[in-house]
Structures are given as C-alpha cells and as structure tokens.
Amino acid sequence: MKLGIGPDGPIAGRRVAITGMGVVSCCGVGTEALWSGLNVPPPVGERRVPEFDPERWFTAKEARQVDRFAQFSVAVAAMALEDAGDVAADPGRSAVIMGTGVGGLETLETQILIFGEKGPRRVSPRLVPMMMTNAGAAAISIRTGWHGPSETITTACAAGAHSIGHAARLVASGRCDVAIGGAAEAGMTGVGIAAFANMTALSTSGNSRPFDVRRDGFVITEGAGAFVLEAWDHALARGAHIYGELAGSASTADAHHITAPIPGGSGAAACMTLAMEDAGITLDQVGHINAHGTSTPLNDRAESDAITKVFGSASPPVTSTKGITGHGLGASGAIEAVAAVLSIQHRLIPPTAGYEQPDPEIHLDVVAGQARPWVPAPVLSNSFGFGGHNGCLVIAPA
C-alpha cells in the first residue's frame, strides 16, 4: 500500500498521521463515551449531547456569546489537541479546517423571535458573529494562535469528511505541518426539526434503522468530531502516539438533485474509487466500510448500489453508526471518522443498531447484532450530503 505517498496521486508528498481525537455525541463527551455508546442499544428519545458543560472550555460570559455549534467546535478541538500532546506547531504552518451544515441556527432562530416580539433594536449585536458558519473555525484559530489557513466547509452532510480531507491535503502538500480537521452541528432547534420533518426526511417511528427494510427516515442529532493531523515525520520527531493514517480522500458531485441522491449511486461510487486510488490501495485491501447509512429509503439504497457497483457482490463488512448516534448532519462525517479510528484501535467493528430485517434489494454484509472482531485494515468512511455532495475518507492503521 502506498497510503497517500508518491508523486502520482492527488495527495503527493508527505504521509498524514492522526495523533489526536476529540468528539461529542449523543453517547456523551469524549472518545470513551462514543465507543461505549456504539456497543449498547440505541438511546430512547431525542439524541442530544448529554451533560455538555461549555464552561469546561469557556467562562460563563464567553459561553453566552458563542452558539452551541461553535462551543462544540472549540470543545472537540481542545480535546484533540490535549490528546495529541505538545504538537510544537509553527503558528504559520498550522491550519484549522472545520465543517458545518447550518452553523448558528439556534442563535438565528432565537434572535428572529426577539425581532418579532420586541423589535429591531433588541436584536443582539452578537447575532452575526454567533450565527456565521465560520465561527467555530475562527474561535479555534484565535484560541490556538495559529495563523495558517482557517477555513470552513459547508457541504451539508458531507462537510465533516470534506473538512478532514482538506486538512490532510494541507499537511500532505507541505503547506502545513499540523492541522485540525473536523466538523460540528447543533441544528436541533424547533424550526430545524420542523423543516426536516415537513420534508419527510425524519423517521416517523423515531427509529434509526440503516439498511433495514423498515427504515423510514433519519433521527436527527447534534455533536462534533475533530482530528489533529500531522506530517508523519513531524509526529515521529516529537514522539507522538499515532492512531492511524489519513491515507486518502475524495470529493465528487452527483449533479442530479438538491436533496435526492442519483439513482444507482454513480457519484458515490466514483468518490469511493477516487479515495482508494488516492490512498494507493486496491479493493481487496479495504477491511471495513463505515457507511453514511442515514436510514432514509433513497439514501441507503443508493449507497448500497454504489458499494455493490465498486466492490461487486462481496462487499467488505459495512456498518452505519447512525443506528446509535442518529444523523448529525454536517458533523456526521467527523464523528464517524473518529468511530473508524476507534474500530481500528479496539479491533472490533461496531454493529448497525436497528438493522434486523434485511432489505431484499440491498446486498451488503451489514454488521449487526454485536460487534464483529476483525484484523484492522484500511477503512472507507462515506459521507453524502444534500446538493449531491459526496465525500470519502480512507483511514488506515498506523
């Protein structure tokens, strides 16, 4: 395996090490909470982040001036940096790339109500800096003092994968030695939930059942995930613990419909193929697919068709962690990338919660019931978003 090195691929240059991780999800705060949550029955009711205390990272006054999605962004970045240890980063050669789907929706919704009830003079002067989608990345760069690229990617539910992939390319290309790549979302507001419900995207049964014949829509959640990504030699020189390698990534567009995936999954299939080519691996070297698997009828069928198109009738073991976490919109790809590393670390593929009755039109080896032992190998992590955005990551064992 070339694993991202060599002059012929889109990532040409340095290998990219994963040296730190941070995550908040409906399973709890931190990687241990996420891993524990992925291996027990799904939660009942709303899937919000429990017991999240922003004052662990902010003063009380600061917390009131930062939207929840940006609080999540700062939290996972801080956890990832703490996990990575002293990265000894040159501020000018360090980047922050964070994604989100809707940004500060909670703040926007609150201030619109204030505008209607109390008039324009009562609208908060903090509205714009709190609602803007780049607030998370900006807050992280301000706190770290990093002067390299600080950017935000908003490609709906593919934003997490795209942000991590872009951060890795900045390191691999030599522009940066260290980068934080991840995404955050906090869109569980009254209007946000109503909008998804009225477009019939949400499960009417309240269950997330990826790839199951009974699937009837996704269960919305919130959260965030982030990696510290380093040039391999940079990580080795400082004696860092290396969790794995961000070996490849790809991005394509369906160019088909604003919400529906293209039938047959050709865009997703192309994205998976390009990501593997980027990593320099062959089909038989992929040991596991962390699927997008939202539990919507069209999305799961299109992804299944795409995987079959690429791998044939013998797909690698497939799991969708959304059976537990629900769908975190723009944050989902980042949370799932952390889950992929944990799967390598624990030598177990977590089961797809809710998958009990196979769909006869889906021909995948879906891991269900209990975690499956495996010999860690490259993981393909898929993320697909409204607008036809496709993002795929290849995460390999160290």
What pLDDT, in 10s, does the model give residues 291-332? 999 999 999 999 999 999 999 988 999 999 999 999 999 999
- In this prediction, residue 3 carries a pLDDT of 43
Residue 3: inside a domain: no
Kindly tell me if the per-residue pLDDT of 7 is higher than 80: no
Instruction: Tell me what the mean pLDDT of segment 265-287 comes to.
Output: 97
Residue 85: inside a domain: yes
- Distance between CA atoms of residues 130 and 338, nearest Å: 26
Of 166, 288, 292, 389, the active-site residue reads: 292
Token pair listed for 8: 């012929």
- In this prediction, residue 45 carries a pLDDT of 84
Residue 4: inside a domain: no
Instruction: Tell me what the mean pLDDT of segment 149-155 comes to.
Output: 98
**Phi and psi at residue 235, to the nearest 5°:** -65, -45
Kindly tell me if the per-residue pLDDT of 4 is higher than 80: no
The rounded percent of the chain whose pLDDT value lies above 70 is 97
Kindly tell me if the per-residue pLDDT of 140 is higher than 90: yes
- Distance between CA atoms of residues 148 and 192, nearest Å: 33
327 is known as an active-site residue = yes
Residues 44-47: contacts with CB under 8 Å, at least 24 apart: 45/206, 46/188, 47/219, 47/220, 47/221, 47/222, 47/325, 47/326
- In this prediction, residue 137 carries a pLDDT of 98
- Number of domains making up the chain: 1
The mean pLDDT of the chain is 95
Angle of the 332-346 helix axis to the 159-172 helix axis, nearest 10: 70
346 is known as an active-site residue = no
Residue 11: inside a domain: no
Q: Residue 359 sits in a domain of what CATH number?
A: 3.40.47.10
Residue 114: inside a domain: yes
- Give residue 5's pLDDT band: very low, low, confident or very high (50, 70, 90): very low
Of 26, 157, 271, 392, the active-site residue reads: 157
At 162 the three-state DSSP class reads helix
Residue 186: inside a domain: yes
Instruction: Tell me what the mean pLDDT of segment 21-34 comes to.
Output: 98
What would you report as the CA-atom Rg of the chain, rounded to the nearest whole angstrom?
Answer: 20
Of 162, 234, 288, 327, the active-site residue reads: 327
How far does Cα 221 stand from its chain's mean position?
Answer: 12
| Start-to-end C-alpha separation, the chain | 12
Whether 132 contacts 104, CB under 8 Å: yes
Residue 230: inside a domain: yes
Domain that holds residue 319: 16-397
Taking only the tens place, the pLDDT of each residue in 60-103 is: 999 999 999 999 999 999 999 999 999 989 999 999 999 999 99
Provide the 10 A C-beta neighbour count for residue 119.
Answer: 9
Whether 5 contacts 171, CB under 8 Å: no
- Give residue 8's pLDDT band: very low, low, confident or very high (50, 70, 90): very low
- Give residue 119's pLDDT band: very low, low, confident or very high (50, 70, 90): very high
Residue 257: inside a domain: yes
